[in-house]
Structure 1
Amino acid sequence: MLNKSEQLSNLKVGVIGIPGKWSTEVLADRLEAKTGFRTVMDVRDIALHLDTNKVFCKGLDLTELDGVIIKKISQVYSPTTEDRIHILSHLEALGVPVFSPTGSMGKLINRLSGTLALQQGGIPMPKTRITESVEAAFEIVREFGAAILKPLYSTKARGMVYLREEDSDETVRTQLAEYQQTQPLLYIQQALNLHGRDLGMVFIGGEYFCTYARVGNAEAWNTTINSGGRYEMFEPDAELIELGRRSQACFDLSFTTVDIALTDEGPVVFEVSAFGGFKGALDGCHLDAAEAYANYVLSSIDNQKGN
């Protein structure tokens, strides 16, 4: 009989991500170190053959793998990202374990569906309103004071527009009208005082892993690393961890980061990530989330096989 280490070393788990990107490659490295098998796949190279119920990537039959991890499915979110999720859902339906489950990730590609899931789960969020009416949007912005327009498909604050309380009525109306040229459905969120920091709370298989802070550049309105922010360690209390746990429990994700801010009105959740990154945990908390995630995936597959 094979021992546990030998059982895991026989597993073949592929990584769908962005070839050459650190988070994709480091996850593949961790899996290779444990199993001896390594493959990184660009989702654009995947071909679904419905006539034979096969899924290929450059000659590799994905239906013969023991599992697939979707580390990244797109550099930026778009309706095409949802189409890619649908393709991979068929691989899942054929019996190949997919991490995270495609149904869970699909809810988070579109900002509105993810927000509604959190709202229905009773999760505290900034005041958020959605409309197609520019006039209604104008009234909402003026009621909020400062507001942020958020695209339905975006990550890392890309495409967001900050409307300041001191902006003139004409400026606000113009920005709303221009924004609606590319974003017909206006997603408007009240801008809160984040005190220059928000949090990334990491969960693996629904279990708390760590929390890091993103500390913003004083010249930027958001705290993203893309805008000059930096990672720092943060120690949350039990109540804050429970908020993060409840938030990610609105979905069924193998690996995720919950974005939380500590505001004057109390903690609020901005979103739950469909994929989540490893850099914040490494730089902020000095923890190897890729290693922990690889261990979780291999153990899950092994348990499903009944070993």
Structure 2
Amino acid sequence: MITIIPKPTDIPSDNSTRMVMDELDRMGERYQALFLEAIDPFSCGLERETIWACGIRQNGHNFETLSALALHNRVINPPEGIVTCASKVKTSALLMKDDVPTPETFFTESRYLAGEFIKKHGKAVSKPVYGFDGVGIVLVESEEQLGEPPYYLQEYIPNDRDFRVFVIDGEAVGAIMRVSDSLTHNIHQGGCGSAVPITPEINDIASRATKSAGVDYGGVDLLIHGDTYTVLEVNGTPNWHCMEAPIPRLLAEYLVEQRKIEKQ
């Protein structure tokens, strides 16, 4: 049986967990939904099972519980991968380590050094280390515009669009272009999304990004940079707004496949 950890941010009009459960229902597959807050990993009886964590709260309890469950079960996505994707600093470090194109990035507690990075580029994009949905991302042109440390800064790459690519098991299965008049093009920030074809280049860079982050599936955000793409971040608990690809069905099939492998 597949055990499902529902996404804490699901709402009736945007319920990622329910979409995948509906597909499992159509496939005649058995599953159970459990909340991490109600699971004692030492006595819950879960062993050699497949656990899908659609999302977790960014707190110690959820991460530790999922990590303990991962010792004896196949957890998708792995807790380490979810936490890696939640941290822009670690994601950037891994992308650079694996030579995956990503904007020049700077991380410091020093306002002065952050200011020097801004001077070097003329302007920079400031992001919260543990942000989501495009919240808190601002363009800064001087040290005086910086908030409180630490400072996670990236070079500013002018654009009027970005791309969200959905990857499952190393293969890009859906992609959208997000367009807006603002700095970020996130759908939650007013961006408009439309499906686009997956080119070999998009497939390659998005696949490499999820491999670096250590996730079975993920949403990879890309910008056009010159004649190629660069990776902004990898989302370990992504939504699939505006995608034409049947993502819930593909995720359900992947979970069933992984459950069969786990039981062998």
TM-score of the superposition, structure 2-length normalised? 0.90
Q: Distance in 2 between matches of 1:70 and 1:203?
A: 16
Q: Alpha carbons of 1:200 and 1:212: their partners in 2 closer, same or farther (altered >3 Å)?
A: same
What residue is the counterpart of 1:58 in the other structure?
none
Preserved CA contact (<8 Å) 2:223 2:229:
yes
State which of 141, 148, 164 in structure 2 corresponds to 1:200.
164
Q: Quick check: 1:89 aligned with 2:67?
A: yes
Per-residue deviation, 1:83? 4.6
Counterpart Cα distance in 1 of 2:48 and 2:18: 18
Q: Give a deviation string over 1:18-52, Cα, whole Å, max 9, x none.
A: 35441121122222332454544443x33435xxx
Give the structure with higher Rg (CA): 1
The Cα RMSD (Å) is 2.1
The answer as to whether partners of 1:253 and 1:274 remain within 8 angstroms in 2 is yes
Query: What is the CA distance between 1:120 and its match in structure 2?
Result: 0.3
Tell me, which stretches of 5 or more residues in structure 2 are unaligned? none
Return the offset for 1:274.
Answer: 1.2
Alpha-carbon distance, 1:13 to partner: 3.0
SS in 2 for 1:106: helix
- Asked if structure 1 preserves the Cα contact closer than 8 Å seen for 2:82 and 2:236, the reply is yes
Q: How does 1:194-273 map to 2 (within 5 A)?
A: 194=159, 196-216=160-180, 218=181, 220-264=182-226, 266-273=228-235
Deviation at 1:293, TM superposition (A): 0.6
Deviations 1:108-138 (A, max 9, x none): 2221111111110101111111111111111
Kindly provide the amino acid, as one letter, of the partner of residue 46 in structure 1: A
User: Once the two structures are aligned, what percentage of the paired residues are identical?
Assistant: 20
Q: Distance in 1 between matches of 2:258 and 2:31?
A: 18
**How far, CA to CA, are the matches of 2:196 and 2:229 in structure 1?**
14
Which contiguous aligned blocks of 4+ residues in structure 1 show a shift greater than 3 angstroms?
A: 35-43
Q: Deviations over 1:251-284 (max 9, x none)?
A: 33222111111123631110111122222xxx23
Pick aligned residue for 1:115 from 77, 85, 92: 92
Cross-structure match for 1:298: 256
Distance 2:30 2:198 in 1: 37
Q: 22, 38, 45: which one pairs with 1:46?
A: 38
Gaps of 5+ in 1: 1-10, 56-60, 165-171
Deviations 1:115-168 (A, max 9, x none): 11111010111111111111111111121112111111111211222214xxxx
Q: Which has the higher contact order (CA 8 A, sep 6+)?
A: 2
* Aligned position for 2:153: 188
- Residue deviations 1:72-126, cap 9 Å, x none? 113xxx5x2x552222010111x22211122222222221111111110101111
Q: Distance in 1 between matches of 2:227 and 2:236?
A: 27
For these two proteins, the number of residue pairs brought into alignment is 261
1:175 equivalenced with 2:138 (yes/no) = no
